Homo-oligomer: A and B are copies of this chain.
Amino acid sequence: MITPYFLESFWGEKNNGFDVLYHNMKHGQISSKELTDFIRERSTIEEAYARSMTKLAKSAGNFSQLGTFAPVWDVFKSSTEKLVSCHMELVRKLQELIKEVQKYVEEQAKAHKKTKEEVASTLDAVQNIQTISQALQKSKEIYNAKTVEQERLRKEGATQRDVDKAGVKAKKATETYKAYVEKYATAKSEFEQKMSETAQKFQDIEENHILHMKEIIQSYSQSVNETQIQIGELHHEFVRNVENTSVESLIQKLSESKGTGKERPGPIEFEECNTAIATEGAKPRKRKPFGIPGRSKKDKDTDSTESTEVEAANTANGAPPGYYGAIDIQNANVPQVDAEGFCIRPEGNENDILFSL
């Protein structure tokens, strides 16, 4: 139970308390509209922040995919996108809250309208005591003036007729004055009773208003706080993800994705030409034409005037002119030496490079 401050503090000269309390109630509508404005502005700020963060996430996503560090951008991108979600979630909650506050603003306006009707009789009582106080004061002044006038005439030895005439006026003024004293007593009693009730009513309204405002603020705080907690967790996740992306794992990842091969160049020895097989090999044999997946890169650097035979053979197989069947020696199964060119190894398996002659 709250101390009835309003009941205690809105009396005083001029009986203006009612006016002050009534306007104070109306200010409550301004407060609740301003609270809506505040939450709306906050929501707008969060939305703009989220939008900027979306751009930042896109930037991280568009950063170079080359280099050892590149995979780390995924961590940045994903974390920033989650940050966007957090802020958008806050925006959604604030928008819902704004709807609630707007509902309250409407209810409050209706309640104030109803209250205005309910306190109309109090306003009457206020105006009544104000009017009667003034009239009482005036009637007292007139009474005093008339009484002094009669006394003056008597002392100055005026005619009895004039003294009597003044006496009638003084008596009339006395009656008016007495009547206002009585009227004032009634008005005062009425005013005190009405004003007491109304002051308490206004305090109840204010109490409920502030309670409602505090509930809204609590809801606002809760939403902001939830977002804070989410962002905190997100941040720790980011830190953890960066920590977990070890230097070794990045070095390994690059080696796997960009590695050029694990085989060092093999030794190459002199191979004597087996002319018997070379000649025999000139007859068409059932075998795959030249070309192994991933090994079809051309070697165009060779320039020889003595390669006519090789070129002719290649052309027959659809190989471009200038191709000499030079393949990547280093990629062969070391230490076994590949047989290329015209010298075809009798034991050559399907994966060996074969030339039709």
Contacts and interface: CB of A to CB of B under 8 A. Distances in A.
A242 interface: yes
Interface stretch (A89-97, A99-107, A115-123, A299-307): A299-307
A64 B338 CA distance: 91
A265 B190 CA distance: 11
Contacts of A319: none
Contacts of A27: 64, 66-70
A45 B34 contact: no
Given A141-B341, A148-B279, A210-B69, A59 B30 contact: no
Contacts of A279: 148, 151-152
A66 B211 contact: no
Nearest to A187: B265
A317 interface: no
A261 B304 contact: no
B134 A68 contact: no
A11 to B, nearest CB: 5
A295 to B, nearest CB: 7
A260 B242 CA distance: 65
Nearest to A59: B41
A41 B67 contact: no
Given A59-B41, A134-B326, A238-B221, A31 B142 contact: no
A327 B133 CA distance: 9
Interface string A118-148: 0000000000010101111110111111011
Contacts of A131: 301
- Copies of this protein in the complex: 2
A197 interface: no
Given A69-B210, A251-B207, A12 B228 contact: no
Interface residues of A, number: 139
Contacts of A287: none
Given A178-B270, A328-B14, A307 B67 contact: no
- Rank and list the top 4 A-B pairs by shortest CB-CB distance, nearest first: A12-B261, A27-B67, A13-B328, A9-B259
Interface of A: 2-3, 5-6, 8-17, 20, 23-24, 27-28, 30-31, 34, 37-38, 41-42, 44-45, 48-49, 52-53, 55-56, 59-60, 63-64, 66-70, 72-73, 76, 129, 131, 133-138, 140-145, 147-148, 151-152, 177-178, 181, 184-185, 188, 191-192, 203, 206-207, 209-211, 213-214, 217-218, 221, 224-225, 228, 231-232, 235, 238-239, 242, 247-248, 250-252, 254-256, 258-265, 267-271, 273, 275, 278-279, 295, 297, 299, 301-302, 304, 306-307, 309-310, 324-331, 340-343
27 contacts: A2-B251, A3-B251, A9-B259, A12-B260, A13-B328, A17-B261, A27-B64, A27-B69, A28-B67, A28-B68, A31-B64, A34-B73, A37-B59, A41-B56, A68-B209, A133-B326, A138-B302, A140-B341, A141-B325, A141-B341, A144-B341, A147-B278, A151-B279, A207-B247, A210-B247, A218-B239, A228-B231
